Amino acid sequence: MKPAPFAYHRPASLDEALTTLAGDPHAKVLAGGQSLVPLLSMRLAQPSALVDLAGIPGLDGIEVDEHGVRVGALARHSAVLASADVRRVQPLVGLALAHVAHATIRNRGTTVGSVVHADAAAEMPAVLALLGGSVEAASVRGTRTIAADELYLGPLESSLAPDEIATSAWFPALPPGAGVAFEEVARRQGDYALAGVAAVADDAGVRAGYLSVCEVPTVVDLTDVPAGGRGDAALARLDPAEDIHATAAYRSQLVRVLTERVVESALVSRRDRAGEGR
């Protein structure tokens, strides 16, 4: 199928984009389009207009300092993945991005777009939630910061208002001596995962973030849970969904296996990083 008709705006400034968006409650924002265009083609989304951010200068930045990584709304996945600074300051971002679709999709798709598309089967919302990151949102009413734990309301539903544009996403740095790991199981490398787990091990404890398991990205605290019991401890907090690709029972088994494996990798990565620090 083809997209239904819509008007197309390509504003030259953020202010112009925000004014256009505020004037049309049925308009949608276009950045990379790798999630939006399929929805248009399947006519699951029929916005009155698209506000293309591509003409706005300065939105494609990737800023890295010792506190974390700030990714601009037009930064492509491929650019974030290619950044050695990002890998150094928050290695989990790169580990997860390598699993985001295929290289041809990452060349066009944006990390902020993925974050606010709020797909619980996607990697970057789960990573933002696990790391306790945030999104900067702008509108004609002003700007605000939305913490990850207030961002995800339901399947494909974020707390971003219709007149708001997510201008950047913030991923906090990995503390010194902390470890991370990421793994997922998909039917084809790069496809949507049947289940995926990200883990962080630091001085505060061990936490795991889950994608393609529940209806929203979910973070589970596994501090002090002994090896061998982590999968079941996680499942006590999760309610794995069933779909045409995996039964709830199979998804639960993936959670058990991946949780043990990914948490163990995060602990090993923590020991390795602590060793490097000496």
Partner 1 sequence: MTEELHDVRLDVNGTAYDVRVPARRLLSDALRHDLGLTGTHVGCEHGVCGSCTVLLDGAPVRACLVLAVSVSGQRVTTVEGLTRPDGSLGPVQQAFAECHGLQCGFCTPGFLTTITAGLRDNPAPTHDEAREMVAGNLCRCTGYQNIVRAVERAAELAATEGRP
CB of 255 to partner 1, least distance (A): 24
- Are residues 96 and 171 in contact, defined by beta-carbon separation less than 8 angstroms? no
CB of 111 to partner 1, least distance (A): 16
Among 11, 27, 28, 34, binds partner 1 (CB under 8 A): 34
Binding of residue 38 to partner 1 (CB under 8 A): yes
Q: CA-CA distance, 261 to 254, in Å (whole number)?
A: 10
C-beta closer to partner 1: residue 170 or 192: 192
Binding of residue 78 to partner 1 (CB under 8 A): yes
Q: CA-CA distance, 72 to 93, in Å (whole number)?
A: 14
Q: CA-CA distance, 27 to 19, in Å (whole number)?
A: 11
Q: Tell me which stretch binds partner 1 (CB under 8 A): 34-42, 135-143, 231-239, 240-248.
A: 34-42
DSSP 29-93: EESS-TTHHHHHHTTS---SEEEEGGGSTTTT-EEEETTEEEEETT-BHHHHHH-HHHHHH-HHH
CB of 205 to partner 1, least distance (A): 34
Q: Tell me which stretch binds partner 1 (CB under 8 A): 3-11, 14-22, 147-155, 209-217.
A: 3-11
CB of 74 to partner 1, least distance (A): 12
Could you say which residues in the range 96-135 bind partner 1, by CB under 8 A? 101-105, 107-108
Residue 212 C-alpha from the chain's centroid:
12
Binding of residue 1 to partner 1 (CB under 8 A): yes
C-beta closer to partner 1: residue 19 or 107: 107
Among 18, 29, 40, 193, binds partner 1 (CB under 8 A): 40
C-beta closer to partner 1: residue 113 or 179: 113
Q: CA-CA distance, 68 to 231, in Å (whole number)?
A: 30
Q: For residue 60, give both structure tokens.
A: 């494609």
CB of 252 to partner 1, least distance (A): 27
- In 10 A of CB 16, how many CB atoms? 15
Could you say which residues in the range 154-213 bind partner 1, by CB under 8 A? 188-190
C-beta closer to partner 1: residue 5 or 226: 5
* Mode of pairing for the β-strands spanning 7-9 and 49-52: parallel
Q: Tell me which stretch binds partner 1 (CB under 8 A): 5-13, 88-96, 147-155, 244-252.
A: 5-13
CB of 195 to partner 1, least distance (A): 19
- In 10 A of CB 132, how many CB atoms? 15
C-beta closer to partner 1: residue 43 or 144: 43
Q: CA-CA distance, 62 to 201, in Å (whole number)?
A: 25
Q: CA-CA distance, 270 to 278, in Å (whole number)?
A: 13
* Mode of pairing for the β-strands spanning 193-202 and 205-211: antiparallel
Which ranges constitute the DSSP H helices of 143-243? 148-151, 230-235
For binding to partner 1 (CB under 8 A), which residues are involved?
Answer: 1-8, 10, 30, 33-34, 37-38, 40-42, 50, 52, 54, 78, 101-105, 107-108, 188-190
